[in-house]
Structure 1
Amino acid sequence: MKLPLIALCVASTLPLAAAAQSYGGPRIVTGSPVLAFSGLYAGVLLERGNGEMDATGDLADAFELALGTKKFSSPAGMAVGLRAGFDIRSGNMVYGALVDVKRSWFEDRTDRVIAQSASVVSWETKVDSTTTAALRVGYDVGGVMVYGLAGYSWMDASLTMPAGTYDDTVGALTYGGGFETQIGYNLSGYLELRSFSGKFENDVVTADLDFSNITIGVNYRF
């Protein structure tokens, strides 16, 4: 006897539930949104880089004597790349790790006049690719995360001089920061500033290589 009575009571509430839905009453929502700045993501990036390459050691003394400067060149240009990472969220704090790989077109052709002979010597500097692994810590302020990062980068650089071409993979600490903001259900965009300081070194050439980069990108969170 109890079961039919319970069924009758449940059935009697259905018109009231339908009326509540029609007049803006409580609604049943299914599914849950992706938690902002949490979990696995991947994306694309575009970068502008500006660098300075200065001779060091005995080569710097020879350059300064012959050319009046220690500066090799100022390579600059654009890069495109891919980024992947993972974030863990704790309250408003975000802790993450990322890796990005970039194809770079940073280059500079330099012409110098040798004071003693008044002749011109030329060389060309290029950076073809950069790989970075970094950790970052951020704080979410209402859908905008401000973060700092630090890691290690490897830049494939080359210097072409009259005596030949010299290559080196320059590795060094990199650091910077930026902000990332939600632009869609699973999408976020970011703006980032980063600095890099390393040493170009082989049997012939030793030089300091410094870069400052500005990066924009879009990430998709899975």
Structure 2
Amino acid sequence: MKRFALALASASTLVLAGPALAGSLAPTVVEAPVAVAVPVQTVGTDWTGFYAGAAAGYGWGSDVADDADDATYGLFGGYNYDLGNWVVGGELEYAKSDIENATVAVDDMTRLKLRAGYDLGNVVVYGIAGANYANATIGGTDYSDTGVSYGIGADYALSDAVVAGFEVLQNDFNEFDNSTSDLSATTVSAKIAYRF
């Protein structure tokens, strides 16, 4: 009888332990998903192409135009070429001027500008150098002369077609049209342009 009891106990142990032995006692390890690096392409602005627009601003004079100040406004057009990190181009601008004092009135300026700047994506910061042809009245006599313009500016692409910007220019004329008077003016302009 003892043998039977021992055999029964052994069989019971095996029957009860069977399901436990069918699986592992070790906990199931769930592996975390593997992160996959997806290359991200940054979208920049291609500044190559023609553009045209309008500008409005303010100017103040020095030399014979000392204490002269007032509004400026006009039209411009040009072409940019995007070299990657750099943008170069040229621009022709006509600006009407209300800058005047008791002696001098700066009537208008036509500027041919070379521009070179650094491409920051949607923004280009640039320097300007160029020629300036101006008409002015000095002491009641009409004069016209060619001088230089230089300064800085920035353009911001509002969309693929519309660009907003600003410029600060120094405009210098030595002995304006042999009048024995130097004429200088600083202008600050806000600009809006359409690219096509």
With normalisation by structure 2, the TM-score equals 0.73
Q: In structure 2, do the counterparts of structure 1 residues 201 and 39 end up closer, same or farther at CA, with 3 Å as the change threshold?
A: closer
8 Å CA contact 1:49, 1:77 repeated in 2? yes
Provide the aligned length of Structure 1 versus Structure 2: 154
One-letter amino acid of the counterpart of residue 158, structure 1 = T
Partner of 1:187: 162
Higher strand residue share: 1
Tell me which of 111, 128, 133 is aligned to 1:154: 133
Partner of 1:171: 146
In 2, distance between residues paired with 1:146 and 1:80? 22
Map 1:1-222; keep pairs closer than 5 Å.
35-54=45-64, 73-109=66-102, 124-160=103-139, 165-201=140-176, 205-222=179-196
Q: In structure 2, do the counterparts of structure 1 residues 81 and 172 end up closer, same or farther at CA, with 3 Å as the change threshold?
A: same
Q: In structure 2, do the counterparts of structure 1 residues 202 and 147 end up closer, same or farther at CA, with 3 Å as the change threshold?
A: closer
Give CA deviations for 1:155-203 in whole Å, capped at 9, x if unaligned: 111023xxxx222113111111111101123001111111011134467
In 1, distance between residues paired with 2:167 and 2:87? 16
Give CA deviations for 1:99-134 in whole Å, capped at 9, x if unaligned: 00011111112xxxxxxxxxxxxxx31011110001
In 2, distance between residues paired with 1:139 and 1:37? 11
8 Å CA contact 2:145, 2:177 repeated in 1? no
One-letter amino acid of the counterpart of residue 190, structure 2 = I
SS at match of 2:160: coil
One-letter amino acid of the counterpart of residue 207, structure 1 = S
| Structure with bigger gyration radius | 2
8 Å CA contact 1:94, 1:139 repeated in 2? yes
One-letter amino acid of the counterpart of residue 39, structure 1 = G
One-letter amino acid of the counterpart of residue 170, structure 1 = D
In 1, distance between residues paired with 2:81 and 2:160? 18
Between the two proteins, what is the percent identity of the paired residues?
27
In 1, distance between residues paired with 2:177 and 2:145? 11
In 2, distance between residues paired with 1:76 and 1:145? 29
One-letter amino acid of the counterpart of residue 180, structure 1 = D
